[in-house]
Amino acid sequence: MIVKPAPFEYLRPSTITETVSALVEADGDAKIIAGGQSLMPVLALRMARPGLLVDVNHIPGLSTITPLDGVVRVGALVRHAKLLEQGDRHPLLAEAARWIGHTAIRSRGTTGGSIAHADPAAELPVVATALEATIHIVGSQGKRTAYASEFFTGALETTLAVDEMITAIDMPQPDQWGFAELSRRHGDFGLVTVVVTEVSGCWRLAIGGIGSVPMRPTHAEELLNAGAPLSDVAAAAAAAVEPSSDIHASAEYRRAMTAEFTRRALSQCKRNQVA
């Protein structure tokens, strides 16, 4: 088995403009690298062979967490460890970060990298979907934004063009939230992850680890907003998923755990207390 990346060139730009220009010039043969926790294993296995790596770690202004009106803006270079530390600003993000990998991964992995990589079993895409986060993007055509519900299009697939980069993510402040994840060991990818949020009086559910993208079970959300019993909401969430069997779990097990962990997320729901 090959465990060394194919040869590549390396660029360390100091501005977003330089980064976008490099991506344009590479014409699809470049990858952005920040923490490298998702990209480097792919390169080592030669599942991707970009001719250029663009290291964005030295671009100023992308590693801040800024409370705004009703949202927390998280820079693309904010490390998972920093999300964990900022519990007083956005407790849901801190709880989600607690479940991401292990100390070494959290110290290097970035928020923008996790969102761009779009692993359906990762925690941050599920949180972003439950919050309907706004993703800020810059590319050759200028700036644009995308809601999480439209940004994730498939497993490891997004609407991000080859000449675009994520600069920040606006995470709304939920009035109430719950988070529950099933994994074989703490730090492993979630077999089932359920996030529930109440934002401006509207309840949302997002389920990760089941399909190719984090999903919103609309009927379960309707029941939740109508004040239905938690058991009915959990049953509706399980009925909405279409899991497949793999080496980690059977489809039946994942469906049963969707119901159970929806119930847990709802029963553990807590009011957001922001300092």
Domains and CATH numbers, the chain: 9-55 (3.30.43.10), 65-172 (3.30.465.10), 176-270 (3.30.390.50)
Mean pLDDT of the chain: 95
- Using a 10 angstrom Cβ sphere, with 0-12 exposed, 13-18 middle and 19 or more buried, the burial of residue 52 is middle
Banded model confidence at residue 270, pLDDT cuts 50, 70, 90: confident
pLDDT digits (tens, 9 = 90+) for 154-167: 999 999 999 999 99
Which pLDDT belongs to residue 244? 87
- pTM (2 d.p.): 0.95
pLDDT digits (tens, 9 = 90+) for 194-218: 999 999 999 999 999 999 999 999 9
Which pLDDT belongs to residue 273? 53
Which pLDDT belongs to residue 275? 44
Banded model confidence at residue 137, pLDDT cuts 50, 70, 90: very high
H-type helices in the chain, by residue range?
A: 16-26, 39-44, 80-85, 91-98, 103-108, 111-117, 123-131, 148-151, 218-225, 230-240, 251-267
What percent of the chain is predicted at pLDDT more than 70?
A: 98
Instruction: Check: CB of residue 208 under 8 Å from CB of residue 125.
Output: yes
Banded model confidence at residue 3, pLDDT cuts 50, 70, 90: confident
Q: What angle do CA 130, 132, 133 make, to 5 degrees?
A: 110
| Secondary structure element (H or E) that encloses residue 155, with its range | none
What percent of the chain is predicted at pLDDT more than 90?
A: 89
